[in-house]
Amino acid sequence: MIASDIGLIGTTIHRVAQLIQQRIDNEIGDSGLTRLSWMAAAHVEDSPGLTIGDLAGRLEVGRATAGQLVDRMVKGGWVERSPSQSDRRLQIVTVTPKTRAMLDELAPRQSALEDEILQDLSPDERCVLLVLLERIRMRLMQRQG
């Protein structure tokens, strides 16, 4: 049994994250994208010129995982990749029109889902929650490096 408040906080954060992930999976299941590919598509759309290595860093996954994800997304017609003009060893990832259309379709669903998940929190509480979670995340990332 977990006896400390820290353990209970960690368990609660983990369970909330699982429940949010399940809701996202249910919401986007008909889109053809997974949660990770949706996040990847959004990063690629927001940052023209993104390399597979850059994408790995943004998704906080390994380069091999990002490479495999991009391979699947290329096969699905979600992204294209091409050699970098400045360094031919690097692969630049770009979204396709199919992805742009799906991201546009998912945007209002994302907003509605976020509102549903956070409906019991005031706007100020939402900001405080985000700041606190980000502070914890940054501290944990510092300890990894």
What is the C-alpha separation between 73 and 76, in angstroms, rounded? 5
Q: When comparing pLDDT for 10 and 95, which is higher?
A: 95
State the DSSP string of 91-133: EEEEE-HHHHHHHHHHHHHHHHHHHHHTTTS-HHHHHHHHHHH
Angle, alpha carbons 33-49-45 (nearest 5°): 35
Instruction: Rounding to the nearest 10 degrees, give the CA dihedral for residues 93, 99, 101, 104.
Output: -80
pLDDT at 145: 60
Summarised one tens digit per residue, pLDDT across range 19-73 is: 999 999 999 999 999 999 999 999 999 998 899 999 999 999 999 999 999 999 9
Q: pLDDT category, 3, cuts 50, 70, 90?
A: low
Distance of CA 31 to the CA centre of its chain: 16
Helix (H, G, I), strand (E, B) or coil at 7: helix
Q: pLDDT category, 6, cuts 50, 70, 90?
A: low
State the DSSP string of 45-68: HHSTT-BHHHHHHHHT--HHHHHH
Q: pLDDT category, 88, cuts 50, 70, 90?
A: confident
Q: Could you tell me which of 104, 130, 105 has the C-alpha nearest to residue 117? A: 130
Q: Is the pLDDT of residue 77 over 80?
A: yes
Q: Are 104 and 119 in contact (CB under 8 A)?
A: no
Helix (H, G, I), strand (E, B) or coil at 51: strand
> Which residues are 83's β-sheet partners?
91
